[in-house]
Amino acid sequence: MANPLIADVNEQNFQQVVLDNSHHLPVLVDFWAPWCGPCKAVMPILEQLAKDYAGLFLLAKVNIDDNQNLANQFGVRSVPTFKLVKAGQIVAELTGGQPASAFKALLDQHISRPSDALREQAQHAQQAGQTEQAIALLQQAAELDPNNHTIHLDLVNILLSTRQFEQATTLFNALPSTAQESAEGKAVTGLLHFASLAAAADDIQTIQQTLRDNANDPAALLGFASILMLHHEYEKAMQALLKLVMVANDYQDGVAKKSLLIIFDALKASHPDLVKTYRRKLQSFLF
């Protein structure tokens, strides 16, 4: 059965299918050719995304062999080339074979989801310390928009910050690999490491008292860094781990260095400057 969210486009219907529709929802234009291997490889990915996003964007396919004027008009020099059109304007583009995560990242910047308002309310509730309300709002958003895995990652983050480690791990492991391997997913993967460390640590009040008595206590520094990570206090967590490297580098088989490397990998996409700074500090101490 034909999918109304996927259209074959030519010079005759381009205005109606792409430009007119782009005033109502984003249109991803796929310039392809029958002889292009990467074009054929990426087509199932795009069709699955059109299904998953369920009406949040339109996929328009342009065969450049049959529509050379369109290809020339839009400056297509190689295939596949993808251009996202919104309100009659090209707002983003990609070229070459791409994974689903690249298309999701492109689309998510320009798509308004029904769940966005609930996610925003949940973030405000969490910032105000209303954790239970934040969780309820995210669960509601997930029911409304089950294919938006960013919602589930938000929920995992809250569960981790409230020490509900088992529930957080179970939810994360149930997500598809595309979500786990996204920049947000990798950040959560790093947090799961610190969740296991925090689960074995004392509570924050005991840790703080221990550090007041002995600022170099290895167990307290590791527990403090782990809790800071779960609350997204990334720089403070790295400071604590760097101090642990300095005072007890061999503690728990070098757990401080290993943990810093996990942070670097988890945050290199979202906090590149911070990672670069602390990678340099770690290297200067070790070498």
Active site residues: 36, 39
Close Cβ partners of 179 (under 8 Å, ≥ 6 residues apart) = 149, 152, 153, 185
Residue whose token pair is 């029958």: 34
10 Å CB burial of residue 212 (0-12, 13-18, 19+) is exposed
Cβ(249)–Cβ(221) below 8 Å: no
Contact (Cβ atoms closer than 8 angstroms) between residue 194 and residue 230: yes
Calpha distance 186→22 (Å, rounded): 33
- Residues paired with residue 94 on neighbouring β-strands, in sequence order: 82
Single-letter code of the amino acid located at 28:
L
CB 32 within 8 A of CB 64: yes
Quote the distance between the C-alpha of residue 73 and its chain's center. 34
